[in-house]
Amino acid sequence: MAEKIVEEMRPFFDPKAVAIIGATNKKGKVGNVIFENFRINKERGIYKGEIYPVNPKLDEIEGYKVYKSVEELPGDTDLAVISIPAPFVPATMRDIAKRGIKAVIIITGGFGELGEEGKKMEREIYEIARANGIRVIGPNCVGVYVPDTGVDTVFLPGNKMDRPKSGPIAFVSQSGAFAAAMLDWAAGEEIGIGKMVSYGNKIDVDDADLMDYFIHDDEINVVTFYIEGVKDGRKFIEAAKRITKVKPVIALKSGRTEYGAKAASSHTGSLAGADTIYDAVFKQTGIIRAEDFEHMFDLAKAFAALKDKLPKGNRIGIITDGGGAGVMASDAVARFGLKMADLSEETVKFLRENFPPHAVPKNPTDVVGDTDAERYRIAIEGFVNDPNVDAIVIIVLFQVPLLEEEKIIDILAEYQTKSDKPIVAVAMGGKKTDYYARMLEEKGVPVYPTPERGVRAMAGLVKYAEYLHRVEGE
């Protein structure tokens, strides 16, 4: 099964040759943007495969030969991207089947989301695909983005939308617009996305197929989903159980309310179903449910950095140089179902002996506003060695005058590397703080702009660790 799904999905992420059906030289048109994405990535040396534009009305685009029909395509074509009007897609699928192409991305909309006539076309396309061993992503989607191989079928041009750098996070979205906006946002936040798949109406390739594929993708540490509805519940559950034993899955499920479910139905034709059922399925399968977009990527960032260093329990130690921030973090510990660690007597003694009298050797430990980086080192050393502490949240207010910014960054990175306890950082502030936060993240410490978001991300790590512990005991 593993070899089959990996081989089926490979052309979507790393094709030998892509046919762009509906390619055009008209700037801004969907078929032109997709062609340009591949062309530019090939010129940059990122995309290594061939590019075959298909359009019966053109002879060449930007120096590339244009094929009049699918039948004329060279035999090495292993991926077809379709961006022609919906009524022409079924006939094109029959041509693709005759040509022997086994992977198809249908960007075109106007299918099941519009009613019965569209659903009829979807069924016809699916039957052609199933009879000929073709895998289909879409329709009604933006397709696939893989920065490492240069595959980019997102039809939003580069001057309108930035693309994120590569990283260990996979993002799968039913909504194409949400996928595009997320990629643009991730680029701005410098969050690395290894693979993005937008599957729209998912007549064939679905959540379960992608979960089974990502089990075997060594470049991906954590998989995130934006889901409006699941069509095959049993298939979804079985795939989810398989992948969550290997790597974390985070889901943002919309359509939670009656209004949202109705909107999902008209958007991608999804049957959103009772939200409580999704809650139960996620809990049963170990999928972590995100409350919103921000929460999903806060969790993903923590898992991407700390996947191999999960907490052994839910006892949290907090270190801060601002008392108020420590109080907020303590509230968040309770709010998200965690516990404040009871520091051992040895740790309290160690901190008291090495701190100045006005610092607070408790949990939260407050190194106070005249701290330097070495005082943080003492606090972290105490927490790392304390058997009563499972995970550490470190709040750094870079604004305090005596704190050497680069030195505290190096200290946090040092302990993130050598300690078996996960560390997340919180840095509150403006542009200067953001600058240092990026430096810290480059060194492997996930950083959050508020105590609540930092603690909530840590709660996700705890929750996943508890799930793994539970299934290992079954």
Instruction: Return the DSSP state at 401.
Output: T
Contact between 333 and 458 under an 8 Å Cβ cutoff? The reply is no
Residue of 357, 327, 349, 321 whose CA lies nearest to 340: 327
Is the pLDDT at 258 greater than 80? The verdict is no
Taking only the tens place, the pLDDT of each residue in 238-255 is 999 999 999 999 999 986
Q: What is the pLDDT of residue 141?
A: 95
Output the average pLDDT for the chain: 94
Residue of 167, 171, 143 whose CA lies nearest to 155: 143
* Residue 443 structure tokens: 């060194």
Q: What is the pLDDT of residue 472?
A: 86
Contact between 310 and 385 under an 8 Å Cβ cutoff? The reply is no
Residue of 75, 63, 120, 66 whose CA lies nearest to 102: 75
Is the pLDDT at 266 greater than 70? The verdict is no
Q: What is the pLDDT of residue 72?
A: 97
Is the pLDDT at 267 greater than 60? The verdict is no
Taking only the tens place, the pLDDT of each residue in 51-89 is 999 999 999 999 999 999 999 999 999 999 999 999 999
3-state secondary structure of 403: coil
Share of the chain above pLDDT 70, in %: 96
Taking only the tens place, the pLDDT of each residue in 89-140 is 999 999 999 999 999 999 999 998 888 889 999 999 999 999 999 999 999 9
Strands 64-65 and 60-61: antiparallel
Rounded Cα gap, residues 28 and 151, in angstroms: 19
Q: What is the pLDDT of residue 75?
A: 96
Q: What is the pLDDT of residue 301?
A: 95
Rounded Cα gap, residues 153 and 443, in angstroms: 32
Taking only the tens place, the pLDDT of each residue in 380-428 is 999 999 999 999 999 999 999 999 999 999 999 999 999 999 999 999 9
For the CA atoms of 36, 41, 47, 49, what is the dihedral angle to 10 degrees?
Answer: 30
* C-alpha to C-alpha distances, 190 to 248, 301, 431, 438, nearest whole angstrom: 21, 11, 15, 8
Whose tokens are 């005596």? That residue is 402
Is the pLDDT at 10 greater than 70? The verdict is yes
* C-alpha to C-alpha distances, 97 to 6, 55, 90, 93, 123, nearest whole angstrom: 20, 18, 11, 6, 15
Is the pLDDT at 281 greater than 70? The verdict is yes
Scanning 133-217, the segments in alpha helix (DSSP H) are 176-189, 207-215
Rounded Cα gap, residues 137 and 103, in angstroms: 8
Q: What is the pLDDT of residue 413?
A: 97
Whose tokens are 């170990």? That residue is 286
Is the pLDDT at 366 greater than 60? The verdict is yes
Rounded Cα gap, residues 11 and 25, in angstroms: 25
For the CA atoms of 346, 348, 352, 353, what is the dihedral angle to 10 degrees?
Answer: 10
Residue of 294, 248, 334, 249 whose CA lies nearest to 449: 294
* C-alpha to C-alpha distances, 193 to 16, 34, 208, 212, 377, nearest whole angstrom: 22, 19, 20, 18, 32
Q: Strands, E, within 174-259: which ranges?
A: 193-198, 222-227, 249-253
Taking only the tens place, the pLDDT of each residue in 333-356 is 999 999 999 999 999 999 999 999
3-state secondary structure of 308: coil
Angle at 233 between CA 138 and CA 206, to 5 degrees: 20
Strands 315-320 and 288-289: unpaired
Angle, to 10 degrees, between the axis of helix 293-306 and the axis of helix 176-189? Answer: 50
Is the pLDDT at 269 greater than 70? The verdict is no
Split at pLDDT 50, 70, 90, the class of 474 is confident
Burial of 418 (0-12, 13-18, 19+ CB in 10 A): exposed
Angle at 255 between CA 253 and CA 259, to 5 degrees: 160
Q: What is the pLDDT of residue 44?
A: 97
Name the residue with higher pLDDT: 473 or 152: 152
* C-alpha to C-alpha distances, 330 to 218, 303, 333, 409, 455, nearest whole angstrom: 36, 22, 5, 23, 9
